[in-house]
Amino acid sequence: MADPREEKLAKLLVEYSVKLQKGESCLINAVDVPTSMTEALIKAVYDAGGYPVVNLWNQRIERAMVEHASKESLQAWADVDTYRMKQMDAFIGIRGIANVRELATIPAQTNLASTYYNIPVHMKTRLPYTKWVVLRYPTEIMAMQGGMGTREFEEFFYKVCTEVDYEAMAKAMAEAKSFLDTVDQVHIKAPGTDLKFSVKGMGWIPCAGEMNIPDGEIYSCPIKDSVNGTITYNTASTYHGHQFKDVRFTFKDGKIVEAHSDDDALINEILDIDEGARYIGEFALGCNPGIMNPMDNILFDEKIYGSIHFTPGNAYEDCDNGNKSAVHWDLVQIQRSEYGGGEMYFDGELIRKDGVFVHPKLTCLNLSL
């Protein structure tokens, strides 16, 4: 019997997130996802009058493809998948977490794959040329990450994914955007953090259920060489299979000149993949009221209510400071009082304190379920 929660999620993804139209093709990329969820997505695409194309995948095959790959083999793989992506009008990427450490022991190969597979297929093709949404599927591993029982986590997952009023969120973000688009100077203060930069003229992009599920962020991008100071992130982050803790960056004229974590050597290896990895490609405000605590799953953690993420690496084309990189690593700092607090100033005015917006033009972002 089909799970009605899966059907509701599939309908949201097809009709709201990618807004699939009659006659449009949609690639469903399902990684470690039950057949029932994939079937629900196929049905939702057909119900919308679209044409489903399905790619079934899993993490162990992904590792096998990457572990012994060369630049040439990755380019051959990327050529095929880039061709397929170019035929698509929409992309739904859904991934069930089977083993968060699957790629942890092959960092050099994973970095190689980022450069020669992810950039051409996803950054240069999917992001600019398809209507896309990515999400996770609830698994026992994710429940463990969230510190919950499996059924408890499933209830949490479907609540923050399908019961959020994304239309109301979009309206609030549109209201906030008119003020945010006028901002020049940003100053962030928090434990271990004193950071200044400019977002003048970059604009802000609302994210309310279209490219990510769950959603709830509004992002901009610093002027590339404007970042100065230090930021300390207070959530753990897994990147290419390795979990990093206590990440701290110091910037001079936009560039990360010092990088520390519980593994200094590995974090600097990631930041040395290319020149752009040491510059920032995104600055975002998290405001999903259903997500309050980190679980080391970035699609959830970057939406945490009262958080920011400040992202080394590639800038998105819709908010582009010119920085290009194989890296795009969303790292999160929670500023609510129970996580140490924090203050954010825009052009010298206090706009958010301890995770709560206090500026009258932005209180609309203090959302509730």
Q: What are the pLDDT digits (tens) for 298-314?
A: 999 999 999 999 999 99
Q: Are residues 29 and 148 in the same domain?
A: yes
Q: At what angle do helices 4-11 and 35-47 cross, to 10 degrees?
A: 50
Q: Are residues 234 and 359 in the same domain?
A: yes
Question: What is the rounded distance in angstroms from the CA atom of residue 6 to the CA atom of residue 40?
Answer: 7
pLDDT, position 369: 72
pLDDT, position 166: 92
Task: Tell me the Ramachandran region of residue 157: left when phi exceeds 0, alpha when psi lies from -120 to 50, beta otherwise.
Answer: alpha
Mean pLDDT, to the nearest integer, of 191-204? 98
pLDDT exceeds cutoff 80 at 2: no
Q: Are residues 97 and 61 in the same domain?
A: yes
pLDDT exceeds cutoff 70 at 297: yes
3-state SS assignment for residue 107: helix
Q: Are residues 114 and 176 in the same domain?
A: no
Mean pLDDT of the chain: 96
Question: Looking at 162, 187, 207, which one is the last position of a domain?
Answer: 162
Q: Are residues 237 and 271 in the same domain?
A: yes
Q: Are residues 81 and 179 in the same domain?
A: no
Q: Are residues 138 and 175 in the same domain?
A: no
pLDDT exceeds cutoff 90 at 5: yes
Question: What is the rounded distance in angstroms from the CA atom of residue 196 to the CA atom of residue 9?
Answer: 39
Domain that holds residue 88: 4-162
Q: Are residues 230 and 145 in the same domain?
A: no
Q: Are residues 28 and 154 in the same domain?
A: yes
Give the Cβ contact number of residue 299 at 10 Å: 17
Question: Looking at 162, 177, 208, which one is the last position of a domain?
Answer: 162
Q: What is the CA radius of gyration of the chain?
A: 20
Question: What is the rounded distance in angstroms from the CA atom of residue 2 to the CA atom of residue 210?
Answer: 24
pLDDT, position 368: 86
- Name the helix (H) or strand (E) containing 284: strand 280-286
Question: What is the rounded distance in angstroms from the CA atom of residue 203 to the CA atom of residue 201?
Answer: 6
Rounded to two decimals, the pTM is 0.91
CA dihedral over 291, 293, 299, 305, signed as positive or negative: positive
**CB contact set of 136 (below 8 Å; sequence gap of 6+):** 94, 95, 96, 97, 142, 157, 297, 299, 300
**What is the chain's percent helix, strand, coil content, to nearest 5?**
35, 30, 35
Domain count along the chain? 2
Return the residue matching tokens 């309206």: 171
CATH code of the domain covering residue 19: 3.40.1830.10
- 111-169: pLDDT as tens digits: 999 999 999 999 999 999 999 999 999 999 999 999 999 999 999 999 999 988 999 99
Q: Are residues 70 and 12 in the same domain?
A: yes
Q: Are residues 356 and 330 in the same domain?
A: yes
Q: Are residues 157 and 18 in the same domain?
A: yes
pLDDT exceeds cutoff 70 at 1: no
